[in-house]
Amino acid sequence: MTERKSVLITGASAGIGAATAVLAAAQGYNVGIGYRSDEKGAREVAKRAHALGAKTVLLQGDMAVEADILRIFTQCDTALGPLYGLVNNAGIVDTTQRVEDMSRVRLEQMFMVNTVGVIQCAQHAVKRMAKRYGGVGGCIVNISSVAARTGSAGQYVDYAASKAAVDIFTTGLAQENAREGIRVNAVRPGITRTQIHAKGGEPGREDALAHLIPMGRAGEATEIAEAILFLLSEKASYMTGAILDVGGGR
């Protein structure tokens, strides 16, 4: 890659987002590192990406807050120039609970971050990338979950539903922008070794559920990042509307 293109990654202070940011830097991208509250983690990711030659910018914002989303895109424009790629990675999960016990507050937060935030980030990306807005195209990769297929019954059906919405949004957005030079795809990670379950009150969940995975182990964040970077690359130039399962066979 002769000239570094710019990629904005939400939820990039840890886990899959952090691994994606570092790999993107290694593959020649400049990186906007989105985060909500883990500034220390975001700075560490930026340090690693910078060591690989990338220009970086820290982008603090809550994906449930519309004004924050607008601000991070504006800041990314200023720091990194034209946007080539968006990785819609930020997401939350909550504690295990049956559907009938889930509060309205929980449901609203789940969908605001995992679904509405994804859609609004994509809106801002399209307005920068689409030919009809004077853009030159680009790529959007939405991070879904294998839970969108399995349903997560007895655990967090709300999370699964919020990710299933991301899947169909990916399909529709890809079709809507196929002639605008924008490719839109998604990755569905399976059980992956990150901190998301610990933050949701279930540390060690990855190992506890490893027996459900045909490959017999949880995935690593770097393995998910490889799929994301493939979809951002020219190697996936004829792929749009695709949803890649990276779940060890589950």
CATH assignment at residue 213: 3.40.50.720
What tokens appear for 143 in the block? 């991070």
Residue 44 is assigned to a structural domain of this protein: yes
The domain in which residue 73 lies consists of 6-246
Residue 1 is assigned to a structural domain of this protein: no
Give yes or no for a contact between 114 and 94, defined as CB atoms under 8 angstroms apart: no
Instruction: Give tens-digit pLDDT for 20-44.
Output: 999 999 999 999 999 999 999 999 9
Domain count, the chain: 1
List the beta bridge partners of residue 41: none
List the beta bridge partners of residue 35: 60
What tokens appear for 208 in the block? 């506890």
pLDDT at residue 201, rounded to an integer: 62
Residue 24 is assigned to a structural domain of this protein: yes
Residues forming the active site:
159
pLDDT at residue 33, rounded to an integer: 99
Segment 48-59 shows an average pLDDT of 98
Residue 109 is assigned to a structural domain of this protein: yes
Q: How confident is the model at residue 59 (pLDDT cuts 50, 70, 90)?
A: very high
Percent of the chain with pLDDT over 90: 86
pLDDT at residue 248, rounded to an integer: 86
Average pLDDT, the chain: 95
What tokens appear for 129 in the block? 């990338």
Give yes or no for a contact between 166 and 144, defined as CB atoms under 8 angstroms apart: yes
List the beta bridge partners of residue 26: none
What pTM does this model have? 0.95
pLDDT at residue 1, rounded to an integer: 46
Instruction: Give tens-digit pLDDT for 76-104.
Output: 999 999 999 999 999 999 999 999 999 99
